[in-house]
Chain A
Amino acid sequence: MAKHETPLLDELESGPWPSFVSDLKQQAEVRAKNEKGVEFQIPQDCVDDLLGVLELSYKHGRTHWKHGGIVGVFGYGGGVIGRYCDQPKLFPGVEHFHTMRVNQPCGKYYSTEYLRKLTDLWDFRGSGVTNMHGATGDIILLGTTTPQLEEVFWTLTHDFNQDLGGSGSNLRTPADCLGQSRCEYACYDTSALCHFLTNEYQDELHRPAFPYKFKFKFDGCPNCCVASIARSDMSFIGTWKDDIRIDQDAVNKYVENDPAYPANAGAHKGKDWGPFDIEKEVTGLCPTGCMKFENKKLTIDNANCTRCMHCINVMPRALKVGKETGLSILCGAKAPILDGAQMGSLLVPFIEVNPDNDYEEITEVIENVWDWWMEEGKNRERLGELIMRQGFQKLLEVTGIEAMPQHVAYPRTNPYIFWKEDEVTGGWERDVEEYRKHHLR
């Protein structure tokens, strides 16, 4: 028997989709029965009260959670988000119901043993409710009380070798795709770079220093499975400098509809799409029209390839990314709070990924960007908003990167050019006497 009647929430279970309401009810029941005999450290009926407060919010059309708080673990300025209910008498189980963000492993690789330990800990010291994973990528542990925070943190760090993630005005938990651990398209080892930068910037992750949040995300190739281009202030996308590698025999196998060469590696085989047509499905869809298939030979004008990945995705046995690989850095993506949503703008078209020198080329760009944003960014201003306010040209200046054609997204709309003195031959200084010899006052 449920503690609170939830007719409005029950509606959310009526559709054909999985429902978080059903999940919460199930968890409330598991806690009520407690067949495992867990010595719950927070109220046993907290999940019932969570459903109750949500039902009340639906009824009132406004939230019953307060805004933020001062809770945290010692020495960390992020990773814990204070959540308090403004109806504690009605719902004592969620009077304080803080969120903890846990730094997910690179590529989200887990062992079942680890997951079991983690959920056992959260059943014991929290509500047992998790979000795998939050939008930033973290493991989200939802709902515990203040005294449990340090206890959970101690167990995570000492027994699980596991750190908290970022929240607030910090570097947020960096997130990456599986990269070279499983994917043949990956142009660099995303996990290695993600892990290195997570360790390198521990201070930025745990001690707030920024005007607002800052996110790194790593995609091994331009397929952008992590969607870093849309979801991070600084996006690292694998790319290549040389030519797409073509196996002409394999191309012809695709064209001949050889069953061992299914289009898209068989990803769409659930439906009969008819015979494979290279013109219709590959060369005709190339966004820059840089490919052609003539006399059983596929040719690509690589200088005009924009790395859309379509041809490689469709014919993975015939086409491969180039051998000279690295990554592109894009800056300024954000969600629509101010000025609307933005995708990242290309800052560095190609940069070497070199673990032997601790990714020096990459960290130099990062730190130049941070120095500028920390100095010039207004409170709660994302990097993308600062780029819009001060101009992309300013970003190039602070990072010491020369403007190049790849930076141009569209033809100029501003007719004014303001030169700097060092950009003009001879500078501003003029010899007035020399001038007056030729020009009377």
Chain B
Amino acid sequence: MSSDLLNDKEAAQKAVVDWLEKKAGSKTKFYIKDFYKIFPDDKPREIKKVVNKMVENEILEFWSSGSTTMYGLKGAGIQHSSEGEE
């Protein structure tokens, strides 16, 4: 059974965005486990579904080294342009 916060899709997404924006000064990429702190009462699999939905909706984006994957707000931190692609 998921928490009320996680069940309310809009509130859950807002909580994620707010948390990421708060952190934006020091960090832009986060491990999946970092999101567990936003939903302390929920199971990892349920949190993963919300966060991945946000990637699908282009609110978040993945960053991958090839071995590890991290999540960040779309457009935040190192982007294509800084990699010389734009």
By a beta-carbon cutoff of 8 Å, the part of chain A in contact with chain B is 66-72, 74-75, 77-78, 80-82, 84, 88, 95-96, 99, 146, 167-170, 207-213, 371, 374-375, 377-380
Contacts and interface: CB of A to CB of B under 8 A. Distances in A.
A32 to B, nearest CB: 25
Given A75-B56, A209-B44, A209-B45, A168 B67 contact: yes
A169 B32 contact: yes
Contacts of B78: 70
A67 B80 CA distance: 13
Nearest to B47: A209
B45 A69 contact: no
Contact of A208 (B43, B45, B66, B69): B69
User: Is the interface on chain B under 10, 10 to 19, 20 to 34, or 35 or more residues?
Assistant: 20 to 34
B9 interface: no
A81 B62 contact: no
Contact of B68 (A212, A377, A378): A212
A77 B62 contact: yes
Contact of B55 (A77, A146, A212, A378): A77
A75 B55 CA distance: 7
B69 A70 contact: no
Contacts of A95: 84-85
B19 interface: no
Interface of B: 31-33, 43-45, 48, 52, 55-56, 61-69, 71, 78-80, 83-85
B85 A68 contact: no
A66 B67 contact: no
B4 to A, nearest CB: 21
Contacts of A378: 33
A99 B62 CA distance: 16
Contacts of B31: 169, 211, 379-380
Given A78-B69, A209-B32, A379-B33, A72 B64 contact: yes
Given A78-B64, A78-B69, 20 more contacts: A67-B65, A68-B63, A69-B83, A75-B56, A77-B69, A81-B66, A82-B64, A84-B84, A95-B85, A96-B83, A99-B66, A167-B66, A167-B67, A168-B69, A207-B55, A208-B64, A375-B43, A375-B44, A377-B33, A380-B31
Given A78-B69, A209-B32, A70 B61 contact: yes
A77 B65 contact: no
Contact of A211 (B32, B62, B64, B71): B32
B31 to A, nearest CB: 4
A412 to B, nearest CB: 33
A211 B80 CA distance: 25
A244 to B, nearest CB: 41
A151 to B, nearest CB: 16
A296 B52 CA distance: 66
Contacts of B48: 207-209
Contact of B69 (A67, A170, A377): A170
Given A68-B63, A68-B66, A169-B68, A211 B83 contact: no
Contacts of A374: 44-45
A375 B68 CA distance: 17
Nearest to A99: B66
Nearest to B55: A77
Given A209-B32, A209-B48, A66 B83 contact: yes
Nearest first, the 10 A-B pairs at minimum CB distance are A168-B69, A68-B65, A208-B69, A209-B48, A374-B44, A81-B66, A169-B69, A168-B64, A379-B31, A207-B52
Nearest to A213: B67
B65 A168 contact: yes
A106 to B, nearest CB: 24
